[in-house]
Structure 1
Amino acid sequence: MSIIPSEILAVIGPRLRSSPVDVNAIASDLGLGIYESNLGNGISGVLVREPAYGSPSGFVIFVNRDEPYVRQRFTAAHEIGHFVLHRERIGQRVEDNYLLRAQGLSNTLESQANRFAADILMPYELIQTLVDQGINGIDALANSLQVSQIALAIRLGHPT
């Protein structure tokens, strides 16, 4: 069962059918912009209420440009999760460290954002489609989905 609310799934659902899932397009569909930035050591991502960037929602996401591409994708998806699931608790800014933990947000809220990220980057139906196409094994699936092998292994319930 997905943590993605049905009204959001109605908007982004078609994007979850092809690999790799286009996280930038999903952000755009939801009125968010994603930008790479030098966030400093230990900061993976930031969700900021900043109307000056001109995004329809008034929020933008910054990901740490110094982190690997697959990490940036997961961080962006995690921040989209905060936007969708926890917007009323955000205030002006949520800053997630390299463990994807934000000061002021509970472990439960962080776990929900991680689950949301997994649901959009690694939907079970898309994984099954890839397997049906002959893409097997953690390495090949992670490469096709453009996620880390560890994230995919966790998603599939494999010990890491």
Structure 2
Amino acid sequence: MASKINVKVGETPFEIAQQFLGSAPVDLLGMADALGIDVNMHADMCDPQASGSIRRLPNGRYFIEVNGNDFDLRRRFTLAHELAHYILHRDIIDQRALVDDAMWRSGAGEQIEYQANRMAADLLMPAGLVRTLWNAGVENVSVIARTFQASEAAARIRLEQLGLLPPAWV
């Protein structure tokens, strides 16, 4: 599928990704396409605990695999997480693949995984769009989750991160 975004020569991956954050649900596959990343959303992962992976191919392109056995909303988050790795950490991705397990651990280091998780939330549920919905009176976690095609747990965490809901443990 061809991306609906016109990529300009010299744009950074971050600038390209930003162009997709204006409507919900965010077109993550279109974003991957615009970034020149091939994606398999129904991969048969060798490790059943693996949620996804990203690697650089010998031709220099990048390839994301998402565990086809995971449910749809989890696969969307996994794709966002792997796109975040590309945007933030493509300099450390090689042909061996950066593989994330079900707890979003790749062995690349806690800081790198934390960064990828935070950016995945930004890509899946952009702060500006979430706040716009909230300020328009959409204060229901389920509705927000459905709007962004995210799990209710992910939507609740995002609302907490944005200070729109108190932390669940309070």
SS at structure 2 position matched to 1:156:
helix
Q: Which residue of 2 aligns with 1:48?
A: 55
Task: Tell me whether 1:116 sits opposite 2:116 in the alignment.
Answer: no
State the Cα distance separating 1:131 from its structure 2 match. Answer: 2.8
Question: TM-score, structure 1 length as denominator?
Answer: 0.85
The number of equivalent residue pairs is: 150
- Aligned ranges for residues 1-160 of structure 1 at < 5 Å? 7-35=12-40, 36-39=42-45, 40-51=47-58, 58-92=61-95, 93-103=97-107, 105-157=108-160, 158-159=167-168
Q: CA RMSD in A?
A: 1.9
Higher relative CO (Cα under 8 Å, sequence separation at least 6) belongs to: 1
Offset of residue 26 of structure 1: 0.8
Q: 1:59 to 1:7 in 2, by over 3 A?
A: closer
SS of the equivalent of 2:20 reads helix
Segments of 5+ residues of structure 1 without an aligned counterpart are 1-5
Q: What one-letter code is carried by the residue in structure 1 that aligns with 2:69? A: D
| 8 Å CA contact retained: 2:26, 2:148 | yes
Secondary structure of 1:135's aligned partner: coil
1:89 Cα shift?
Answer: 1.4
| Alpha-carbon offset, residue 37 of structure 1 | 0.8
Distance in 2, Cα, partners of 1:14 & 1:135:
24
Structure of larger gyration radius: 2
Q: What SS is found at the alignment partner of 1:15?
A: coil
How far apart in 2 are the matches of 1:89 and 1:9?
A: 17
Supply the distance in 1 between the matched residues of 2:43 and 2:13 (Cα, whole angstroms): 27
Which residue does the alignment assign to 1:3? none
State the shift of 1:13 in Å. 2.2
- Residue by residue over 1:42-96, the C-alpha shift from the partner in whole angstroms, topping out at 9 and shown as x without a partner, is 11001122257xxxx5111000111111110111111111111111212211111
Aligned mates of 2:50, 2:13 — CA distance in 1: 27
The percent identity for this pair of structures is: 35
TM-score (norm 2): 0.81
Over residues 3-42 of structure 1, what are the superposed CA-to-partner deviations in whole Å (9 max), with x where a residue is unaligned? xxx9434323231111100110111111101112121421
For residue 83 of structure 2, what is the amino acid of its counterpart?
A: I
- Unaligned stretches of 5+ in structure 2? 1-10, 161-166
User: Residues of 1 paired with 2:114 and 2:33: CA distance?
Assistant: 23
